[in-house]
């Protein structure tokens, strides 16, 4: 890469990494993220992980998430470090594609992915999508590089990427279907791009070329098959300790397929993702469509494949009734590549037209500011705003005040983090993550006979029954967990007097 291009690209990568790591602790964990985080803590402490197809996606997230715990300890930064790193790493994966979409295209795609609101917002969450799109692009890079220089280790890299995708999430099936359809469409377009009399010959030539390539790679493909099988079995079986996890993958596919069709409370209209892209990813959508225009006009195979991949993956996720905002990351990725290709083609066509070039640069700056504004808005300010379309069952920032109050109470009592805490509310995630260092926490999800404790967490619906059976007197505070869900924090009077009743006295009894 040229020096100027490399400088711009490094700026994009540093900005992307900074945005994601700087915001790592701003947004509280949501309930599903809290479950994943607690499972990681349990795995770290016990060494036991069992894949459950009814509750979670693949095991990759759990095992990879252990690495930062060993290196950095158990904290929010280490918890969210790898998702942020993988999402930022998308930019580095663009470099090998510079011959396909151009150096200017690599920089443009890097800017788009660095500032994409959906990527910035969800890149710090413990969800599978950041890992999934990282290995999706890894697979594309390996395949593209193999077609350029025919080195066999690139085929093995492609196989390993598929293996990791298999262990991350069942939606690999959707991605494979979109790739297959895009590849078929690329071949068909290539055949119909020649004169009618030449099409049969081009078809025979293409099929013969594919067959010869497959025969030449026969041993490598067999090796890749067993490599994929080995990695998948290794992780799904929890390193050969839970063989039910292997067939559990197929159960998971059936479960998630049925949920995808039924919606399971996450039903959205067909144009849900289109509306999100228009509102938050408009530059990606517009330049992506322009890239598709150039692709079909110039008939370059890689750009046509990217365009068809974007269209097919968009169609697949739009047809499925089950829709959540973070799934949009799978759509933004190919659109960003197409947008990069468009930027490169536009730059090349306007290089000698100074006036139009300046106008195009101005448009690009406006589009960049558009992405940056929405990324900063949702990530810094509206990250728990229920009316914002990108937030989704998000935990309120009030949860940090609740945890801070509990820390204040435990700091004033001789038991410290051994203080007894009883959680009686049926809704409490992600509290197990935030209370992970407390050794005497009980999660009951209902009112129990012996409910008294220095600290109790209940729900407003339980307040009347709970107060009637408590033997001691309590100070009660109310906190919002998420939209429509509130928690009551009961602090026993003796503990309240030590920590909070006389703030000027600090922790003195």
| Residue range 287-334, pLDDT digits in tens | 999 999 999 887 788 999 999 999 999 999 999 988 999 999 999 999
Distance from C-alpha of 91 to C-alpha of 123, rounded to nearest angstrom: 13
Instruction: Examine the pLDDT at 509 and tell me if it is beyond 80.
Output: no
The CA-atom distances, in angstroms, between 334 and each of 275, 303, 377, 392 are 17, 10, 24, 24
- As a whole number, mean pLDDT of residues 454-480 equals 90
- Residue 1's pLDDT is 57
Instruction: Examine the pLDDT at 59 and tell me if it is beyond 80.
Output: yes
pLDDT category of residue 31 using cuts at 50, 70 and 90: confident
Instruction: Examine the pLDDT at 4 and tell me if it is beyond 70.
Output: no
Instruction: Examine the pLDDT at 382 and tell me if it is beyond 80.
Output: yes
- As a whole number, mean pLDDT of residues 268-275 equals 93
List the structure tokens of 87: 């999402």
pLDDT category of residue 261 using cuts at 50, 70 and 90: low
% of the chain at pLDDT higher than 70? 91
- Residue 8's pLDDT is 65
> Residue 491's closest CA among 468, 462, 470?
470
- Residue 507's pLDDT is 41
Distance from C-alpha of 395 to C-alpha of 428, rounded to nearest angstrom: 10
Q: How many CB atoms lie within 10 A of CB 399?
A: 22
* H or E element in which residue 318 lies: helix 301-319
| Residue range 91-105, pLDDT digits in tens | 889 989 988 998 889
- Residue 198's pLDDT is 76
Q: Please give the DSSP secondary-structure letter assigned to residue 449.
A: S
- As a whole number, mean pLDDT of residues 396-423 equals 92
| 392 contacts 125 by C-beta, under 8 angstroms | no
Q: List the chain domain ranges.
A: 3-381, 398-505
Q: Please give the DSSP secondary-structure letter assigned to residue 392.
A: -
Instruction: Examine the pLDDT at 240 and tell me if it is beyond 60.
Output: yes
- Residue 191's pLDDT is 81
Instruction: Examine the pLDDT at 262 and tell me if it is beyond 70.
Output: no
pLDDT category of residue 506 using cuts at 50, 70 and 90: very low
**Residue whose pair of structure tokens reads 């009637």 in the numeric block:** 468
* Selection from 15-19, 66-70, 134-138, 413-417 with the highest mean pLDDT: 134-138
Q: Tell me which long-range contacts 360-368 makes (C-beta under 8 A, separation of at least 24).
A: 364/108, 367/282, 367/283, 367/286, 367/287, 368/111, 368/115, 368/283
DSSP 338-354: HHHHHHHHHHHHHTT-H
- Residue 184's pLDDT is 92
> Residue 290's closest CA among 352, 332, 335, 349?
335
Dihedrals phi, psi of 346, to nearest 5 degrees? -65, -45
Distance from C-alpha of 178 to C-alpha of 246, rounded to nearest angstrom: 25
pLDDT category of residue 252 using cuts at 50, 70 and 90: low
Mean confidence (pLDDT) of the chain: 87
The CA-atom distances, in angstroms, between 399 and each of 29, 35, 61, 186, 428 are 9, 16, 25, 51, 10
């Amino acid at each position: 890469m040229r020096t100027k291009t490399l400088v711009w690209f490094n700026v994009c990568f540093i900005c992307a990494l900074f945005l994601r790591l700087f915001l790592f602790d701003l947004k509280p964990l949501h309930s599903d993220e809290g479950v994943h985080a607690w499972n990681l803590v349990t795995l770290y402490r016990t060494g036991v992980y069992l894949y459950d197809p009814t509750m979670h996606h693949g095991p990759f997230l759990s095992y990879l998430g252990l690495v930062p715990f060993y290196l950095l300890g158990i904290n929010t930064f280490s918890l969210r470090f790898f998702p942020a790193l993988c999402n930022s790493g998308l930019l580095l994966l663009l470099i090998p594609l510079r011959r396909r979409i151009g150096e200017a295209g690599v920089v443009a795609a890097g800017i788009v992915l660095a500032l994409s609101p959906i990527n910035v917002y969800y890149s710090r969450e413990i969800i599978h999508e950041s890992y999934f799109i990282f290995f999706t692009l890894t697979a594309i890079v390996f395949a593209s590089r193999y077609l350029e220089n025919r080195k066999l280790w690139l085929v093995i890299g492609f196989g390993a990427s598929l293996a990791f995708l298999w262990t991350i999430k069942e939606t690999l099936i959707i991605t494979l279907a979109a790739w297959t359809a895009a590849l078929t469409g690329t071949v068909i377009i290539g055949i119909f791009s020649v004169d009618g009399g030449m099409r049969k010959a081009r078809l025979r030539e293409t099929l013969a070329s594919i067959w010869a390539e497959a025969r030449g790679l026969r041993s490598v493909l067999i090796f890749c098959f067993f490599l994929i099988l080995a990695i998948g079995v290794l992780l799904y079986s929890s390193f050969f300790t839970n063989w039910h996890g292997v067939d559990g993958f197929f159960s998971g596919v059936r479960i998630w397929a049925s949920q995808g069709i039924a919606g399971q409370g996450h039903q959205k209209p067909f144009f849900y993702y289109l509306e999100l892209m228009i509102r938050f990813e408009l530059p990606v959508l517009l330049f992506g469509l322009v890239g598709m225009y150039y692709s079909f006009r110039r008939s370059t195979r890689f750009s046509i494949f990217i365009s068809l991949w974007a269209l097919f993956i968009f169609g697949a996720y739009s047809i499925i009734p089950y829709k959540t905002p973070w799934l949009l990351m799978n759509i933004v990725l190919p659109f960003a590549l197409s947008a990069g290709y468009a930027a490169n083609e536009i730059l090349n066509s306007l290089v000698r037209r100074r006036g139009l070039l300046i106008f195009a640069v101005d448009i690009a700056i406006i589009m960049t500011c558009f992405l940056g504004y929405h990324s900063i808005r949702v990530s810094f300010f509206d990250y728990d705003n229920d009316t914002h379309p990108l937030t989704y069952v998000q935990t309120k920032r009030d949860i940090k005040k609740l945890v801070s109050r509990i820390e204040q109470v435990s700091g004033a009592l001789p038991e410290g983090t051994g203080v007894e805490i009883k959680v009686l509310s049926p809704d409490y995630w992600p509290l197990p993550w935030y209370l992970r260092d407390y050794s005497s926490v009980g999660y009951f999800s209902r009112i129990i006979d012996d409910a008294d404790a220095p600290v109790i967490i209940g729900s407003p619906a339980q307040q009347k029954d709970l107060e009637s059976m408590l033997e001691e007197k309590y100070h009660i505070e109310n906190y919002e967990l998420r939209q429509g869900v509130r928690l009551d924090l009961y602090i026993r009077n003796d503990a309240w007097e030590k920590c909070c009743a006389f703030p000027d006295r600090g922790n003195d009894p």
